[in-house]
Structure 1
Amino acid sequence: MTPSCRLSLLGAEVDAITPDEVMDTIAQSVVAKRRMVIANHNLHSLYLFHRRADMRAFYDKADLIEIDSTPMILWGRLLGKDVSRAHRCTYLDFRESFWAKAQSEGWHVYHVGGAPEHNPRSRAAILKRYPNVRLSMHTGYFDVNGSDNTRLLADLADKKPDVLLVGMGMPRQELWILNNLEQLPDCAIMPIGAAFDYEAGVMYTPPRWTGRVGLEWLVRFLHEPKRLFSRYFLEPWVLIPHVVRDLMRRRPR
């Protein structure tokens, strides 16, 4: 499926959709019992996308590709694309809508990711807000090529979740989805990074207004400069040729 809202930005394709439209897409997947991959792009994923063939293969399989990046949206607007801040989709911004809908619709949500010692706190935080949510969890610390993976796939086949959230960090989570896609249940599948670490309170959560004004990256960097220096100050240089190509395409013929 290629949505009518699909755009080309920085050498990759993304969809100009709102968080509410993402919720509607998940609901469609659940009702139809259709396997659907809902991916996302930010500047870090674009770096990996242009450097790794396996990441490009993952995005080729995606039914929907959210824009999880205010700088990408601002770049799209500069190019005259029909995109706005309303199209930024990230777990921390839509999580309350997601869990409220999961509870009201009776969705069974299965999360793969997180450390064993943190997952009980994540689960407790979500169930405190939404006590009737059906939530299964599996740590992200396992051998993706061994018997642990086989047992996980068997558990997923047995439980048949409506939504599968995969939070093992990029690109590990995307490649796990890609490599196991044909064995995953017919459900909505979403890579969500460290989302449940925020739920557990073990990772700093920037104020949500910083994302709306395009400063969330700076706040994150100030809290974790050593880990994020390369991501925010070195990786974007890989995108320069794609910036030039976007500008060349925008020139009037």
Structure 2
Amino acid sequence: MTPERQRVPVLDVDATPLRVDGVIEELGNLIASRTTSTVLGHNLHSVTLFHSCEGFRSLYDSSAIVLLDGAPVAMLWGLAHQRQLKPLGQGTMAYRLGSMDWIPALGSVAGLQRIAVVGAGREANNKAVARLRDIVPGATVDGMPGEGWNQSLEEAVVSWLGEFRPQLVLLGLGMPLQETVLQRRLQELPPAVYCAVGGAIEQVAGVQKLAPRWLGRLGLEWAWRLVLHPGRVAYRVFVEPWKLAGLLIRRRIQSSRSRGK
């Protein structure tokens, strides 16, 4: 059974509020089903793309799991679902899960025996594969780099996945490239659980330094990324929230007009 989706108010998206143990259990269920499914995450960047790109929105709507990835998304969800939080004795940030919150726990996924790692440069990919072999002892883990992604490399990866037949695929090409690849190739890919993990491959490899988890619990991981990668992150921090606000305002105006007809 697919986990329940819940509304994130203000942002007008749905997500799957899970803690780490819930993600691990659901991954085991998806693997046991032997079908094709996706695991995605919602942060402000993905919410902006969700409201501005039909293909992106379709992928999210059909995903098996959409985690509360960004702190603002988790906080807004928590404000609307406080009754769910209190009996569990958990704060909202227990449900705010980036890829590096659950990847280290993959060794507890029932039946996980074959893992593919797609993305990052060759050195980082190799290191991530080696690390995952330690995390999931006895599993067959292999990878293909994603640096310089183009049509030729994409076709090679699709062919390789078809031969390798993994149960779980960590796809780390960055947003929105990884989601775009899933949109156009998912029907061609072998049955597996495809997880969009962004820069987590480099973090698993130890190439990219992971923000202290206490910063993430405070909702300040963006500041860490801004300091380390200002050119890559500045637009998302300072410009994209205004773009998202405009999209949400326009959405509400259109909805109001539709109701008034």
3-state SS in 1 of match to 2:208: coil
Alpha-carbon distance in structure 1 between the residues aligned to 2:4 and 2:157: 35
- RMSD value, Cα: 2.5
TM-score, with length taken from structure 1: 0.86
Paired residue for 2:174, among 145, 151, 169? 169
Q: Is the 8 A contact 2:32 2:111 kept in 1?
A: no
Matched with 2:99 is 91
In the alignment, structure 1 residue 135 sits paired with structure 2 residue 141: yes
CA displacement, residues 103-149 of structure 1 (integer Å, 9 cap, x when unaligned): x7442010111112322222233335555332110111355433x33
Alpha-carbon distance in structure 2 between the residues aligned to 1:204 and 1:219: 10
Cα pair distance change 1:239/1:143, threshold 3 Å: closer
Matched with 2:35 is 34
3-state SS in 2 of match to 1:16: coil
Q: Would you say how many aligned residue pairs link Structure 1 and Structure 2?
A: 244
CA displacement, residues 11-59 of structure 1 (integer Å, 9 cap, x when unaligned): 2221122222111111111112111111111011112222222211221
Paired residue for 1:213, among 195, 198, 218? 218
Q: Where does structure 2 lack aligned partners over 5 or more consecutive residues?
A: 86-91, 253-261
CA displacement, residues 191-232 of structure 1 (integer Å, 9 cap, x when unaligned): 001111112222121111111121111122122223211111
In the alignment, structure 1 residue 101 sits paired with structure 2 residue 108: yes
Alpha-carbon distance in structure 2 between the residues aligned to 1:108 and 1:206: 29
Q: Map 1:1-253 to 2 at 5 A.
A: 3-9=3-9, 10-80=11-81, 82=84, 84-98=92-106, 100-101=107-108, 105-141=111-147, 144-146=150-152, 148-240=153-245, 242=248
TM-score, with length taken from structure 2: 0.83
Compute the displacement of 1:177 (Å): 0.8
Alpha-carbon distance in structure 2 between the residues aligned to 1:168 and 1:145: 14
Alpha-carbon distance in structure 2 between the residues aligned to 1:4 and 1:226: 37
Alpha-carbon distance in structure 2 between the residues aligned to 1:87 and 1:198: 20
Matched with 1:249 is none
Say which is worse superposed, 76-85 or 166-175, in terms of deviation.
Answer: 76-85
Cα pair distance change 1:32/1:204, threshold 3 Å: same
Q: Is the 8 A contact 1:17 1:87 kept in 2?
A: yes
